[in-house]
Amino acid sequence: MYPRLVIDLNKVKNNLNKITEMVKSSGCSIMIVTKGYSGDEEVHKILENSDIDYIADSRIQNLKKYEGTKKERVLLRLPMNSEAEEVVKYADISLNSELTTIRNLNRAAAKENKIHKILLMIDLGDLREGIFFKNEDEIFSTVEEILKLKNIQLFGLGVNLTCYGAVIPQNDNLSILVDIGKKIEKKYNIKLHMISGGNSSSLHLINKKELPEGINNLRIGEAFLLGGETAYGEMLEGFYDDAFTLEAEIIELKEKQSVPIGETGVDAFGNKPVYEDRGIIKRAIIAVGRQDVDPDNLHPIDSKIDILGASSDHLILDVTKSDKDYKVGDIVNFKLSYSSLLRATTSSYVEREYKI
């Protein structure tokens, strides 16, 4: 059945070994982030038998699938108050910034007779989650309240960068996190076990040997899956960018002009498209659409194919320049960037095939 996502488990394993070696060589523990492929169970088996330290996801549903795992489970997205009970059941650690939620987690953990660990998130300027780093009073008063809770352990601090504000982790901003950690340890005479210095966008600092001392954990999704660091978009040496590929089938192939005829309004998604006049071209329609992929983050392996556009269930390609004489029923292969991988594993219309 098509469309299907082909997962090359050997390449996944290679990327996992490489990223583990890279992160651990910097003195950090590694959390592998599984949300980019919706917690696929075959990939999970590889994680389970690896040297990684933690398995992390933004969705509790994925962590729940890993019931019985030997690794510690981490919830990345700030918990909803309404899911506090699930969080303490299925996650050992969660990332937090709101005292109300932390108190709810404490109550839920007490009911389960558990100690739930948290990382307190500090916002170093990316403006997604965390207490703003300049508000030290808020940081300290929050810590003070957390330390009163019997079923919560303040396990450490974390920061997330390059997600909303596209701020790049550097030695100077990550050092602020380390310093805040030291101040907390001193002021309250406690030990913070984890200072988690970000995601795949922090990896460039390892290669440059600029990761500040004191950062002792990284949370890695994209680099593991697609082989690139995400601060500057560079491929990492020895990694594969095609551990995941997409295959879809041609359902129409016709020569037509490249500019629509008649007055144009907006497309199926409310955008006003711009059409380049390429003359008469060979147009292939393949049976996959925006429900299954992000057309802007999909890359034909036949580099002479151009993606012209997409609607919910159709992707339109210009195959005029290709050396291959495509026919209806032929399969077209693509590499995927992050948002396409995310959608392809989320869509229930995309089959999966595993290459061993």
User: Which DSSP string do the residues of 6-64 spell out, in sequence order?
Assistant: EEEHHHHHHHHHHHHHHHHHTT-EEEEE-GGGTT-HHHHHHHHTSS--EEEES-HHHHH
Q: Is 208 known to be catalytic?
A: no
Catalytic-role residue among 35, 64, 183, 282? 35
Shortest distance (Å) from residue 35 CB to ligand PLP: 6
Q: What would the two tokens of residue 167 be?
A: 């701020």
Q: Under 8 Å CB-to-CB from 247, ≥6 apart: which residues?
A: 2, 3, 4, 5, 6, 331, 332, 333, 334
In this structure, the number of other CB atoms found within 10 A of the CB of residue 276 comes to 9
Give the whole-angstrom CA distance, residue 354 versus residue 356: 6
Q: Given the complex with ligand PLP, which of 220 and 253 has the nearer CB atom?
A: 220
Of the candidates 85, 198, 94, the residue with the CA atom closest to the CA atom of residue 146:
94
User: Judged by CB, which is closer to ligand PLP: 281, or 342?
Assistant: 342
Q: Reduced to 3 states, what is the DSSP secondary structure of residue 9?
A: helix
CB of 136 to ligand PLP, least distance (A): 22
- Name the minimum Å distance from CB 332 to ligand PLP: 27
Structure tokens at 116: 């739930």
The DSSP letter of residue 349 is: T
Integer Cα distance of 250 and 45 in angstroms = 33
Nearest CA to 249 among 12, 55, 4? 4
Q: How far is the CB of 128 from ligand PLP (least distance, A)?
A: 8
For the bound state, the minimum distance from the C-beta of residue 339 to ligand PLP, rounded and expressed in Å, comes to: 11
Report the residue number whose CB is nearest to ligand PLP. Answer: 221
Tell me the residue type at 133.
F
The residues that bridge with 283 in the sheet, in sequence order, are 254, 318
Contact yes or no for 198/173 (Cβ under 8 A): no
Which residues in this chain contact ligand PLP in the complex, by CB under 6 A? 33, 35-36, 58, 76, 95, 160, 199-200, 219-223, 230
Q: Which is nearer to ligand PLP, 95 or 310 (CB)?
A: 95
Residue type, 224: F
Minimum distance from residue 159 beta carbon to ligand PLP (Å): 9
Asked if residue 31 lies in contact with residue 56, where contact means CB atoms within 8 angstroms, the answer is yes
How far apart, in whole angstroms, are the C-alpha atoms of residue 55 and residue 23?
15
Active site (catalytic) residues: 35
